[in-house]
Amino acid sequence: MARIGVMGFGVVGSAVAYGFRKMGHEIYVYDVNAERVKLAERFGFNAAGIEDITECEFIFICVPTPCRQDGSCNLEYVEKAFWDLISTCKKKGNDKGQIIVVKSTVPPGTCERLRNYAIDTEVNVHVVSCPEFLREKHAVEDFLNPDRWLGYVVIGGFEKQAVDKVAELYKDFNAVIVKTEPEVAEMSKYVSNLFHALKISFSNEIAKICERLSINPKKVMDILRIELNRATYIDPLLGPFTGKCLPKDLEQMLALCESVGYDAPLLHAVKEVNERVKEVNERVNHPSLRGRGLSSGDNDAINPHKTRRAG
């Protein structure tokens, strides 16, 4: 049994608090909003001050990360929560290697920045990224049953020991535990949601095409659903799609869309991205460039010779 502090009692925080209490842990909840503190108490949680929270072995930051005006991620709540924690630790001399787990969705590199604050402030805490993948309307259920939703828990950290300790908290959950670097964990949350957004927009685009062709889109997508559990072609090392089928069928569907007056922005973007990747491939395969060597950061060239064909 561990002593767990939860900062923020919104959708994620309440699911974390409820879920870990159900797994037998002792939970302390902190929130700046008095109403949410009352709510937490009504659910039987210990309302805590920031000093009580620093007594916990694990501290989960579950505060909002809304968009700023320009769309970028507003990190002020995360930074405020983290700063309150480490400055209290510093003041009390209470920094015994607590593990601060960032549950909020944050841009890659955020945990590294937070960790650097702690190092600069000379406070001995560990920062771990463990993004929450639950659905808004099924928060508690998804937290407790990762297997029924996405099937994994991603834990990204700088020190193996801290990662292992967080993994231990999840040992009774029926989920694949992925231990990785913090920036991979942070990015994986965005990628998961972007992929959902992609599938939804693809479904909507196919519906628009089907509408113009008088085809039932539900029946078409129900067929696609059968194959989805094949997990094919999700691999950034594949390079562009080539071969006889995918480029041809994409071309033909674009022509068909044009003939029925639908401009298909998503399918056009697929073509554009593929052509760019192909261009890079051709460039790196060009005789004049061979053997020149590529910067290791150049992912376009991770495997420029590989391409993917499907029937």
Question: What part of residues 220-239 is at the interface with its own copies (CB under 8 A)?
Answer: 220-221, 223-239
Distance between CA atoms of residues 154 and 5, nearest Å:
19
Residue 46: beta bridge partners?
28
Of residues 56 and 115, the one with the C-beta less far from its own copies: 115
Of residues 121 and 242, the one with the C-beta less far from its own copies: 242
CB distance 285 to 240 below 8 Å: no
**Count of residues that bind its own copies according to CB under 8 A:** 118
Distance between CA atoms of residues 28 and 26, nearest Å:
7
Q: Which stretch binds its own copies (CB under 8 A): 27-35, 52-60, 268-276, 282-290?
A: 268-276
Instruction: Check the CA dihedral 72-33-135-168 and report its sign.
Output: positive
Of residues 122 and 136, the one with the C-beta less far from its own copies: 136
Selected catalytic residue, list 89, 130, 245, 257: 245
Of residues 269 and 289, the one with the C-beta less far from its own copies: 269
Of residues 157 and 239, the one with the C-beta less far from its own copies: 239
Query: For the chain, what is the radius of gyration of the CA atoms?
Result: 24
167 makes contact with its own copies (CB under 8 A): no
Of residues 91 and 196, the one with the C-beta less far from its own copies: 196
Distance between CA atoms of residues 65 and 40, nearest Å:
21
Q: Counting every residue, how long is the chain? A: 311
Q: Which stretch binds its own copies (CB under 8 A): 24-32, 77-85, 160-168, 264-272?
A: 264-272
Q: How far is the CB of 228 from its own copies (least distance, A)?
A: 4
Distance between CA atoms of residues 115 and 49, nearest Å:
23
* Nearest to 267, CA basis, from 281, 256, 283: 256
Question: What part of residues 104-163 is at the interface with its own copies (CB under 8 A)?
Answer: 105, 107-109, 132-137, 139, 142, 149-152, 154
Distance between CA atoms of residues 99 and 102, nearest Å:
10
CA–CA–CA angle 262, 263, 267 (5° rounding): 115
73 is catalytic: no
Q: Which stretch binds its own copies (CB under 8 A): 24-32, 52-60, 88-96, 295-303?
A: 295-303
126 contacts: CB under 8 Å, gap ≥ 6: 97, 98, 99, 100, 157, 158, 159, 161, 162
Q: How far is the CB of 235 from its own copies (least distance, A)?
A: 6
Q: How far is the CB of 170 from its own copies (least distance, A)?
A: 14
308 makes contact with its own copies (CB under 8 A): yes
Distance between CA atoms of residues 54 and 16, nearest Å:
17
Question: What part of residues 82-111 is at the interface with its own copies (CB under 8 A)?
Answer: 105, 107-109
User: The tokens of 85 are what?
Assistant: 């924690």
CA–CA–CA angle 44, 2, 115 (5° rounding): 110
306 makes contact with its own copies (CB under 8 A): no
Residue 153: beta bridge partners?
177
Which of residues 1, 35, 42, 71 is near its own copies by CB under 8 A?
71
Question: What part of residues 12-41 is at the interface with its own copies (CB under 8 A)?
Answer: 12
Which of residues 87, 124, 145, 180 is near its own copies by CB under 8 A?
180
Catalytic residues: 245
